[in-house]
Amino acid sequence: MNTGDDMQSTIDTISTIFGVSEVRKRNDLLYFVTAPKKMLPSLLLHLRDRERFTHLVFFTAVDYIENGQFQLTYMLHNYSTGINLAVLVFIDRDNAEMESIHTLWKQARVFQQELREMFGITFPGSPRIEEDFALEGWQNMPPMRRDFNTREYAEATFFPRPGRTSENPREYMKKKLYPDEAHNV
Amino acid sequence: MTNDEAVPAAFTDEELFCQERPQVREPLKGFFEKFLNWARANSLWFLGFGTGCGAVELRPLLTARYDVFRYGIQPRPTPRQSSVFIIGGYASVKTIKRIVRSYEQMQNPKFVIGLGSCTINGGMYWDSYNTINRLDHYIPVDVYIAGCMPRPEAIIAGFMKLKQLIKEGRGENANKYARDFDWYKANQKKIIKDWNMPDYNW
């Protein structure tokens, strides 16, 4: 079976029907494509039912704060060819909302619950979306957003133990091993 | 509704939990306390509650190679039967809630071993949004074992240190918790925002 030709025809199809762009091939078994936001559910349905990408491997987000966008990554797997296909979608960062895909894969509900908590992306209609996932009673900005200052928050909240200093190893060892010469350098 | 009487009412918190604060128990005098401390030091039963990656180092303790039972150390399934609580590494806010609850359910006298760097100063998670830095701000800690992770030999050494402390009559941290109860509660409530349990549950 020539998986490369199969994949090429798949990409041709989804490019024509769903307006998929920026096809990047990392290696024989890993492809990245970018899809328009509106076409995504029908594209995933097509990939699942027609192109045998039956497994949702993971579903996550990346915060591109410079562009004011979140990148959602839907990683699909085809068991018959072994090919992974990542479908990327860019959504607006300020009004982060995306169509839920829990009707296509049940387990997407959990990913969406986590994305709501960690990035503040809402998925209307996703079951139990408002429940706490890993954080309980979190009252701050979603912590995986890049404008959340993790270190500042940790230092204000968690009683940092004083005395944490770091030395330049080169200078430190010079002073320690050759104390007489340290002042000459 | 008319058939409310037929349905048993749900238990309230007052019925399920004791609402009292923890009590300070002064140690006995002289020989009696020494005898009790000898008995406590030789029957350290720890709670089988793996709260972090360090819990993986507790399993080898029970195997033929390390066999901690020769020191009278063994795991117990419930806090009510345990006297030692080993915090195995990093504790997230979600876990610290369970840790506090389990700690309070343990019977006096009780001892805490902080295992790994994360319990001392946060370790590699010191600037995390969700991981505590200093365990001793939330529950009193008797012995810290540094390392990431400490080997089972180090844990046995920590147990020996704890034994020594108890025999010297210095294992009084349950009383310390009762005395500084308000300080510990304030620290716990600073990070546990959804406090849906009684202040002291046992």
Banded model confidence at residue A161, pLDDT cuts 50, 70, 90: confident
User: Structural domains in chain B?
Assistant: 45-191 (3.40.50.12280)
B131 contact residues in A (CB cutoff 8 A)? 154, 158
What's this model's pTM, rounded to 2 decimal places?
0.84
Widest pairwise Cα distance in chain B? 66
Nearest to A61 by CA among A123, A125, A16: A123
Give the integer Cα–Cα distance in Å for A164 and A170.
19
What integer pLDDT is reported at residue A83 of this predicted model?
94
Q: What is the pLDDT averaged over residues A160-169?
A: 82
pLDDT at residue B146 greater than cutoff 70: yes
Asked whether the beta carbons of residue A134 and residue B93 sit closer than 8 angstroms, the reply is no
Higher-pLDDT residue of B186 and B202 is B186
Q: What is the pLDDT averaged over residues B100-106?
A: 92
Pick the residue from chain B with its C-alpha nearest to A143.
B129
Give Cβ neighbours of residue B29 (< 8 Å, ≥ 6 apart).
Answer: none
What integer pLDDT is reported at residue B5 of this predicted model?
57
Q: What is the pLDDT averaged over residues B31-49?
A: 93
**Residue A116 — φ and ψ, nearest 5°?**
-65, -40
Restricting to A residues 81-140, those with a Cβ less than 8 Å away from any Cβ of B are: 132, 134-139
What integer pLDDT is reported at residue B17 of this predicted model?
74
Which of A59-73, B11-25, B177-191 has the weakest average pLDDT? B11-25
Assigned fold of A3-161: Beta Polymerase; domain 2 (3.30.460)
Asked whether the beta carbons of residue A164 and residue B93 sit closer than 8 angstroms, the reply is no
CA B119 vs CA A49, B5, B54, B86: distances in Å: 49, 50, 10, 10
- Could you tell me what percent of chain A has a pLDDT over 70? 96
Q: In what order do the strands lie in the sheet with A55-64?
A: A21-27, A30-34, A84-92, A69-77, A55-64
What integer pLDDT is reported at residue B2 of this predicted model?
52
pLDDT at residue A184 greater than cutoff 60: no
pLDDT at residue B202 greater than cutoff 80: no
What integer pLDDT is reported at residue A91 of this predicted model?
96
Nearest to B95 by CA among B127, B123, B59, B55: B55
B98 contact residues in A (CB cutoff 8 A)? none
Burial class (CB in 10 A: 0-12, 13-18, 19+), A94: exposed
Q: What is the DSSP string of B105-127?
A: HSPSS-EEEEESHHHHH-GGGTT
What integer pLDDT is reported at residue B12 of this predicted model?
75
Which of A26-30, A73-77, A178-182 has the weakest average pLDDT? A178-182
What integer pLDDT is reported at residue B67 of this predicted model?
93
Q: What is the DSSP string of A100-163?
A: --TTT-TTHHHHHHHHHHHH--B-TT-TTTTS-SSSSS--SS-TTSTTS-HHHHHHHHS-PPS-
pLDDT at residue B4 greater than cutoff 90: no
What type of residue sits at position B72?
G
Q: Is A46:A16 a contact under the CB 8 Å cutoff? A: no
What integer pLDDT is reported at residue B3 of this predicted model?
53
Give the integer Cα–Cα distance in Å for B85 and B169.
18
pLDDT at residue B129 greater than cutoff 60: yes
Tell me the nearest-neighbour CA distance from A109 into chain B, angstroms.
21
Query: To which residue do tokens 């020191």 refer?
Result: B71
Q: What is the pLDDT averaged over residues B75-104?
A: 92
Nearest to B105 by CA among B139, B54, B132, B143: B139
| ipTM of predicted complex | 0.82
Banded model confidence at residue B1, pLDDT cuts 50, 70, 90: very low
Pairing, β B74-76 against β B45-47: parallel
For an interface test with A, give the residue of B95, B130, B138, B192 to mutate (most A CBs within 10 A). B130
In three-state secondary structure terms, B136 is helix
Beta-carbon count within 10 A of B103 CB: 24
Pick the residue from chain A with its C-alpha nearest to B119.
A161
- Tell me: the pLDDT tens digits for B175-201? 999 999 999 999 999 999 988 888 887
A160 contact residues in B (CB cutoff 8 A)? 121-122, 126, 133-134
